[in-house]
A = this chain, B = another copy of it.
Amino acid sequence: MAEILVAAAPWRPLLHSALQSNSHIRHASYFQLATVAANGRPSNRTVVFRGFRHGSDTIQINTDSRTRKIEEIRLCPYGEVCWYFTESWEQFRLSGKIEIVDGSNTDPLKLQLREKSWFSSSLKSRNQYLGPSPGLPHLNEERHEEPLLDQSTGPVPAFCLLLLDPEQVDYLNLKSNKRLIFISRQTDESNYCWVEEVTDKNG
C-alpha cells in the first residue's frame, strides 16, 4: 500500500464532473445509503443528494425522523453511500459518520442548515412530512396532492437533515478501468487532509 499526500478533497472534481456529465438524467442525484440495523444486519435504500454543506465535503440528505434509518443511525452513526452514474459508468462509494439534525438540535448553525434544506425542497416534498406516518421517499417532487403548507412555514418536527462526512471515497470508472481510493486523515485537532491510497483490494 502506497500513500500520496494531498491537501484539498481530490475526489470532489471527479464527483463534480460525474454530476455534470449525468445532469440531464433525473436519477443522477439518487444514491443508495447503507446503514446497520439494530440486529447488526445491513440496511440499504435509495435517497436523494441534497448538495454539499457550504464550504465542506459534507453530504446533505433530507429524511423523515420516523423512518427506520433514523433509529439505525442513532445506534450506529455510520453510512456508506454507493452512487452509480448510469451514463458515465462511474461509481463513488463514500463512507463516513452521519449526524442527524432534527428540530431538537442545540447548535444554531445546524438548525439553520436544516431550515435552509427545508426551504430548498419543493412545497410538495415538504408536505410529505405532514402525514400521520412517514411518506414515500422524497424522490418524486411532482406529487399531485394539494399543498397543505404555505411557502413560508418552517421545517415541521418530522423533517430531518442528515449530514454524512466522508472519511473514505472509493472511485471507480468502468469505462477507463481507473480506480482511486481517497482517505481522510486527521492532521491535528481541527484539520484533516486527504491521502490517496494505492490498493489491490476491491469492493
Contact = CB atoms under 8 A, between A and B. Distances in A.
Interface of A: 25-27, 30, 32-36, 40-46, 64, 66-69, 76, 78-82, 84, 86, 89, 91, 93, 95, 132-137, 139-140, 143, 172, 174-175, 177, 179, 200-203
Given A40-B76, A44-B34, A27 B202 contact: no
Contact of A139 (B42, B64, B89): B89
Number of copies of this chain in the oligomer?
2
Nearest to A45: B203
A70 B46 CA distance: 24
A168 to B, nearest CB: 10
30 contacts: A27-B84, A27-B86, A30-B84, A32-B32, A32-B84, A34-B42, A34-B43, A34-B82, A40-B76, A41-B76, A41-B78, A42-B43, A42-B76, A42-B80, A42-B95, A44-B93, A45-B91, A46-B84, A64-B202, A67-B203, A89-B140, A133-B202, A134-B200, A134-B201, A134-B202, A135-B202, A136-B202, A137-B174, A137-B202, A137-B203
Contact of A68 (B36, B172, B202): B202
Among A41, A82, A134, find the residue whose CB has the most chain B CB atoms closer than 10 A.
A41
Given A43-B80, A66-B202, 4 more contacts: A34-B80, A41-B78, A42-B43, A134-B200
Contacts of A43: 34, 42, 80, 95, 203
A74 B135 CA distance: 36
A134 B202 CA distance: 6
A41 B75 CA distance: 11
Contacts of A95: 41-43
